[in-house]
Every structure is written in C-alpha cells, then in structure tokens.
Amino acid sequence: MPAPSSRSCLRVVIVAAVLFVTAVVGVAVWAYREYGPLPIREAPAKHRLPFLDGAETVAYSTDGRRLAAGGKLGIKVWDSATGQVVWEWTQNPSVVRAVRYSPDGGRLAVLCTSGHLTLRAAGTGAFQMAIQPSEPDRPAAFVGPDTDTSPRSSSSACFSPDGRWLATGHYYRSYPHGVAGEVRVWEVATGKQVRTIETPVGVMAVAFSPDVKWIATGEADGKARLWEAGTGRKVRDLPPGGSEAGIVFTHSGREVVYAGGWCMEENPATVLDLNTEATRSLTGGRQSYAVYVHCMAVSADGRRLALGELVKDHRRRGGHRVRVWDLRSGSLLADYDCPAEVKALAYSPDGRELAVACGNEVRVCDVP
C-alpha cells in the first residue's frame, strides 16, 4: 500500500482542526447561553422616587392620585402623576410596616413595628387618631432584629371594604413555630378594639373578604387560614402553598390568592376557589428552580398578580425580580430584573401601574 502523501495528511489535519474549533465554539456558545449572564430586563420606570433605607410598604390612594410608602425613616407621599412629594412624616416611633388608605380615600392608616397604629388625613398627613399606642413591653424606637428583645411585633393592616373595620396582624420577632400570633380588629369610627383572633403562629398578612364575612390570614409557618370576621371563629385551614408574603381575596370574593416563602419557580402562588377547593396553576416557570417570594400584589379587578422574588439563579443580576401573571389564564405576562430586594408591591386602582419598592427607591412602572 502506498504511503499517504503530505498533501493528504495536510487535508486531514485541516479537517480535524476545523472540526475541533467548531466543537469548542459550539460548546462555548451553549455554555454561555446556559450559564452565562442573562440580559438585563428592568421594568420601564415612569418615576424613580427616592426613599432612603428602603420602603417596607407601599399603597395607592383610592383615586390613584397619591402613592404612599413607609419604612425606617417614616412616611412619604407622592403625587403619582408627577412624582412630586405631597407630604412626609419622619417622627414615627419605629419602622412603618403598613400604610393603607381607607376605602373612601380620606384616611391613611399607619402601622409601626412597635404596634403604634394611627390614622392620618390622606391629603395632608394631619394626625387624626391614635388607635393604639406602642406596645407597653416594647422600646420606644426600633433598633433592629439582633438587639430588639421585645417579643411582639406588628406586620400588616387591612381596611374592610366598607371602611368600618381595620384589622392588624401581629407576630413574635423570633418566629418560633408554636408561638401564637393574633389579629386585632378595630372600629375605625371610635378607635376601639372589638375583637382579637388568636392564631397558632405569628400573622404576616391579613385580608377581609369583599362581603366582610371572612378574614384570611397568612402566617409565619407558611399556612393560610380563614376566620369568621364577626366572631373570630376559625373556619378552616386553606391548602398549603405559602402565605407569608401576602393574602388577598379577588374582587368576586370567590377566590383567594396567597404566596410567600420558598417555593418552586413554576408554582409560586396559590389561587384557590373557595367553593370548589380547586386551585389554578400559573405558567412560565422552570422546574426544579427555587424562588423566595418576598411580596405580592393583586390588581383591584382581580386580573393581575405580581410577585417580588429572590431567584436561586446565578445568571440573574443579584437574583431579584418581579413577575406578573394574568390570573384568568395563568399565563406569565412580564418578567423584570431588579437591582435589589423587592420589599413591597402595589397596583394602582386602574391596574395600569405597579409601584415597586426596590433598594432605596420606589419605582412606578407601566405593566401589562
């Protein structure tokens, strides 16, 4: 057999080199797509409203003309159209955990970690009523979870749709399972406490049903429960699904939506039909990827759900994002990156804007 020519050997070497380079480039492209950084897809913000040390809570007024936020440095209220500050208050006794507008739009309820609960004029911030002073066993100022040894804290607040009642949720700072929490129900006109609902663990979120018949709670163990608003009697435990971040009834009152804590990306929230016990699924997530839901918001018409999440995915910048779903179809509408933890979300009354408390600002975004 004749020996191969040098030209034939050269062709073989060239073909082998081309194949090798092609394989290396192909692997590199695959690896970049699979493990490389994702393109930044931040939500287009109409306004970026500064709030130093970060807002813990946000809420739109009933008419959508005002946007309120609260946190360690007090309260700030903006004109939602212009982004101009309307009024602010920095003398709160501790961290503001919830700001909520009354259904008639005239009042703003302010709940602090210390339990301090007040009503203020929505337009000017003028003091109207101290419903509850700071808890007697708590320090006058919040000094942080590592040094604050007082056991009781406040987490959430919700007006009843008729504006007659105000419910507040309370928990214990150490979050031990088996340590009871409670819901307190207040009469808005008089500021008197009319009912206490004791819960198995701390209450992280609270909501009234549209007919004011039920109160739903999301609790520190990730469970959601339903209570009679008039008596405080427990009706039932709701199917598991996480509820620390928030719980809300849809406009019809037939469904309740809740989310919170660690979960799988393809199933981050529970949408429960209270009549049939059926749950509806959301789409748009990847199997076996974990997310932590920090906060949630449902639009007033019950058509949109937004979640603020921490993503266990090194491809995302910082791992923080906001996702938006159509609750009727369960389809994912938007997926936006955020540069820092998303601590609070709120829809405008018309559902066209979403306020996102992220880092040291509140972003007002147009969303699908």
Q: Kindly list the structural domains of the chain, giving each domain's residue range(s) and its CATH number in brackets, ordered by start.
A: 46-366 (2.130.10.10)
Q: Which of 2-11, 24-33, 64-73, 308-317 has the highest mean pLDDT?
A: 64-73
Q: Which residues of 179-202 are buried (b: 16+ CB within 10 A; e: fewer)?
A: eebbbbbbebeebeeebebebbbb
Report residue 85's pLDDT band, with 50, 70 and 90 as the boundaries.
Answer: very high
Tell me if residue 20 falls in helix, strand or coil: helix
- The residue among 74, 32, 25 whose CA lies nearest residue 53 is 74
The answer for residues whose C-beta is within 8 angstroms of residue 352's C-beta and 6 or more apart is 366, 367
pTM reported for the whole predicted model: 0.83
- The residue among 240, 155, 163, 265 whose CA lies nearest residue 205 is 155
pLDDT at site 175: 52
Distance CA 203, CA 219 (A): 4
Q: What is the mean pLDDT of the chain?
A: 84
CA 357 to chain centre: 9
Tell me if residue 9 falls in helix, strand or coil: helix
pLDDT at site 11: 67
Percent of the chain exceeding pLDDT 90 equals 56
Report residue 16's pLDDT band, with 50, 70 and 90 as the boundaries.
Answer: low
Tell me the pLDDT tens digit for each residue of 326-342: 998 999 999 998 889 99
pLDDT at site 36: 44
Q: Are 343 and 354 in contact (CB under 8 A)?
A: no
State yes or no: pLDDT of 225 exceeds 80: yes
Q: Which two tokens stand for residue 282?
A: 């959301």
Distance CA 85, CA 109 (A): 18
Distance CA 129, CA 118 (A): 6
Percent of the chain exceeding pLDDT 70 equals 80
pLDDT at site 176: 45
Tell me if residue 35 falls in helix, strand or coil: helix
Please provide residue 15's backbone torsions phi and psi, each rounded to the nearest 5 degrees: -60, -45
Distance CA 185, CA 191 (A): 10
Distance CA 168, CA 124 (A): 24
State yes or no: pLDDT of 27 exceeds 70: no
